[in-house]
Amino acid sequence: MTLLYINSDQMGQGDAELGTKLMRVFFENLVNSDVEIDYIVCINSAINITTKGSSVIDYLKKLQDAGAKISSCGTCLDHYNKRDDLIIGVVGTMKQTIELLVEADKVIRP
């Protein structure tokens, strides 16, 4: 199983605008590649990519259509008060995240 583990709505550290742009470019290139993703786990501010206002939601939909399962941390959704704004995937748990990390043959982290 290939797991895409995302813990921020930005890629890298530094300028927020650049980090957001890099995340969009990452997903655009991922969708247009031959890489098969089985599961996407979003924690901390990464839940912003699965909720209203996401700049990568169309890419996530394409990955989901290709078979990827998507989950967003429930504690994180509650912390950012975005549980009702979830538009793709399911609400996940830390227990589930740990199990997926342990079971994955490959973990990708942008």
Q: Closest Cα partner for 72 from 101, 53, 99, 45?
A: 45
Per the prediction, the chain carries an average pLDDT of: 96
**Across 31-54, average pLDDT:** 97
pLDDT of amino acid 96: 96
Q: Domain 2-108, what fold?
A: Hypothetical Protein Ychn; Chain: A, (3.40.1260)
Question: What confidence tens digit (pLDDT) does each residue in 45-61 have?
Answer: 999 999 999 999 999 99
* Residue spans of beta strands (DSSP E) within 37-92: 39-42, 69-73, 90-92
pTM over 0.95, yes/no: no
Domain residue limits, the chain: 2-108
